[in-house]
């Protein structure tokens, strides 16, 4: 399974721990290191932290866990400018990861205290559809030409949420891959249209198999609508999973108890069913189930994002 990508999901405000974890991840051979983006006290500013990691790393991919396409939060033009700059400064190591955001139940507290109106699910998908269409024009450039100056041809766009009047950007030196997180039909259709990587979260192998069948049909349908150059476009498959791994049963039982206390019995039961839980052999066998279904990337959430021992044990497990 050496050709599979393993990526870390990181959050927290201790930059020294963030830095040391990133350096270890690169040394161990992790493909990506992705940091959370929020205005809450659980994170520092995402893009500032990621930028600080550029000069101390060499090859590990960097990016946000999810970066938001929300005009009340940040201008889309600014996000494009940030992404192109980051891609060039990092020598092509940006992974642009995005999605429509979590449900109101979980997300309202992340936005309302800061004076940001968080749209309904339908509005968020409508908004995201417009935003990713524009963003892909500037970053992916499937359907626009470049002038000799190296800038994108000026773009005009009249949408419900976005209006662009002749905007253009200096193109990035290296193409920026886009990951779209999606499990619902409309978002999966958007992913089939614009994503290089389609990512789903917290599914058993059987659940993933069923969802992937739906995605395959959407991808096939979308392919028929595209230009010939894009009809054979490949979309990689990624899955986000929690990890509880330990080399002894005693240590594993302890981690399970801590997890149950911290996250509650409902979440704990789901993790046992849908996570990578067990000793190295059990975790490896579970990974193989996903790989056999076409998964080529694992986005991993460890119980403690700075548990260096578990992060190292996991990579030793999948490399052996």
Q: Is residue 169 part of a domain?
A: no
Q: Could you tell me the residue range of the domain that residue 79 belongs to?
A: 5-139+174-319
Q: Is residue 309 part of a domain?
A: yes
Instruction: Report the pLDDT value the prediction gives residue 147, as an integer from 0 to 100.
Output: 44
Angle at 207 between CA 203 and CA 209, to 5 degrees: 115
Q: Is residue 162 part of a domain?
A: no
Q: Is residue 15 part of a domain?
A: yes
For residue 167, count CB atoms less than 10 angstroms from its CB and return exposed for 0-12, middle for 13-18, buried for 19 or more.
middle
Q: Is residue 149 part of a domain?
A: no
Rounded to the nearest 10 degrees, the angle between the axes of helix 121-139 and helix 185-194 is 0
* Whether the Cβ atoms of residue 296 and residue 2 lie closer than 8 Å to each other: no
Q: Is residue 248 part of a domain?
A: yes
Q: Is residue 98 part of a domain?
A: yes
Output the domain CATH number for residue 57.
3.20.20.30
For residue 251, count CB atoms less than 10 angstroms from its CB and return exposed for 0-12, middle for 13-18, buried for 19 or more.
middle
Q: Is residue 155 part of a domain?
A: no
Per-residue pLDDT of the chain (320 residues; tens, 9 = 90+): 668 999 999 999 999 999 999 999 999 999 999 999 999 999 999 999 999 999 999 999 999 999 999 999 999 999 999 999 999 999 999 999 999 998 877 777 889 999 999 999 999 999 999 999 999 988 864 444 444 455 667 888 999 999 999 998 888 989 999 999 999 999 999 999 999 999 999 999 999 999 999 999 999 998 877 665 556 778 999 999 999 999 999 999 999 999 889 888 888 888 889 999 999 999 999 999 999 999 999 999 999 999 999 999 999 999 98
Q: Count up the domains in the chain and report the number.
A: 1
- Range 277-305 burial, b when 16+ CB lie within 10 A, else e: bbbbeebbebbeebbeeebebbbbbbbeb
């Amino acid at each position: 399974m050496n050709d599979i990508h393993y990526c870390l999901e990181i959050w927290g405000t201790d930059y020294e721990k963030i830095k040391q974890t990133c350096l270890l991840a690169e040394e161990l051979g992790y493909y990506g290191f992705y940091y959370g983006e929020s205005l809450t006290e659980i994170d520092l500013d995402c893009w500032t932290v990621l930028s600080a990691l550029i000069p101390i790393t060499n090859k590990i991919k960097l990016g946000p866990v999810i970066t938001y396409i929300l005009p009340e939060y940040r201008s889309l033009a600014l996000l494009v400018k940030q992404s192109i700059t980051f891609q060039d400064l990092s020598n092509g190591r940006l992974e642009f990861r995005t999605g429509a955001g979590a449900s109101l139940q979980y997300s309202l507290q992340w936005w309302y205290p800061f004076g940001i109106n968080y749209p309904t699910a339908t509005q968020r998908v409508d908004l995201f559809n417009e935003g990713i269409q524009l963003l892909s024009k500037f970053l992916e450039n499937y359907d626009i030409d470049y002038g000799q100056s190296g800038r994108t041809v000026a773009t005009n766009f009249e949408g419900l949420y976005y209006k662009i009047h002749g905007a253009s950007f200096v193109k990035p030196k290296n193409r920026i891959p886009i990951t779209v997180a999606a499990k619902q039909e409309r978002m999966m259709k958007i992913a089939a249209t614009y994503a290089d990587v389609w990512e789903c979260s917290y599914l058993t192998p059987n659940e993933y198999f069923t969802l992937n069948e739906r995605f395959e049909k959407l991808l096939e349908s979308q392919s028929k609508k595209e230009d010939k150059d894009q009809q054979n476009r490949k979309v990689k498959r990624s899955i986000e999973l929690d990890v509880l791994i330990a080399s002894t049963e005693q240590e594993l039982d302890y981690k399970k108890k801590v997890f149950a206390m911290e996250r509650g019995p409902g979440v704990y039961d789901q993790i046992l069913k849908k996570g990578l839980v067990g000793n190295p052999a059990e975790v490896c066998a579970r990974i193989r189930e996903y790989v056999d279904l076409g998964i080529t990337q694992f986005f991993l959430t460890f119980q403690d994002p700075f548990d260096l021992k578990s992060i190292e044990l996991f990579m030793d497990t999948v490399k052996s």
